[in-house]
Structure 1
Amino acid sequence: MIKKHVMVGALMALSSTAAGASDVSPEDMVIKLFDAMRAGNGGAIREMVVADARLDRLKPDGTLQQGTFERWISWVDTQEDGDADEQVFGVKTLSASPELATVWAPFELTYKGKFVGCGINQFTLAKSKDGWKFLYGIDMHHDGDCAEFKKEIMK
Structure 2
Amino acid sequence: MRYLKTILPAFFLVSLAAPAFAQEEKEVEKVIASLFEGMKTKNTELLQAAFHPEASMQTVIAGEEGAKLGSNSVQDFVNRISNTPATTQLDERILEYQVKIDGDMAAAWTPYRFYVNDAFSHCGVNSFQLIKTAEGWKITYIIDTRRKQGCD
Give the TM bin, normalised by the shorter chain: 0.7 to 0.9
Deviations 1:53-80 (A, max 9, x none): 1110011121000112211111111233
Give the structure with higher Rg (CA). Answer: 2
Unaligned residue ranges in structure 2 (runs of 5+)? 1-22
TM-score normalized with structure 1 length:
0.74
In 1, the alpha carbon distance for the partners of 2:110 and 2:70 equals: 19
In 2, the alpha carbon distance for the partners of 1:70 and 1:136 equals: 13
The equivalences for 1:74-153 within 5 A come to 74-79=79-84, 80=86, 83-93=89-99, 95-147=100-152
Q: Quote the sequence identity (%).
A: 21
In 2, the alpha carbon distance for the partners of 1:46 and 1:109 equals: 20
Is it true that 1:33 corresponds to 2:38 in the alignment?
Answer: no
Letter in 2 for 1:133: K
**2:121–2:148 Cα contact (<8 Å) kept:** no
In 1, the alpha carbon distance for the partners of 2:131 and 2:94 equals: 20
TM-score normalized with structure 2 length:
0.75
Letter in 2 for 1:127: K
In 2, the alpha carbon distance for the partners of 1:84 and 1:59 equals: 20
In 2, the alpha carbon distance for the partners of 1:89 and 1:119 equals: 10
**1:52–1:68 Cα contact (<8 Å) kept:** no
In 2, the alpha carbon distance for the partners of 1:25 and 1:119 equals: 23
If each structure's helix is expressed as a fraction of its own residues, which one has the higher value?
2
What SS does the corresponding residue of 2:145 show, helix, strand or coil?
strand
Q: 1:106 to 1:81 in 2, by over 3 A?
A: farther
**1:55–1:66 Cα contact (<8 Å) kept:** yes
User: How many residue pairs end up in the alignment?
Assistant: 125
Q: Which has the higher contact order (CA 8 A, sep 6+)?
A: 1
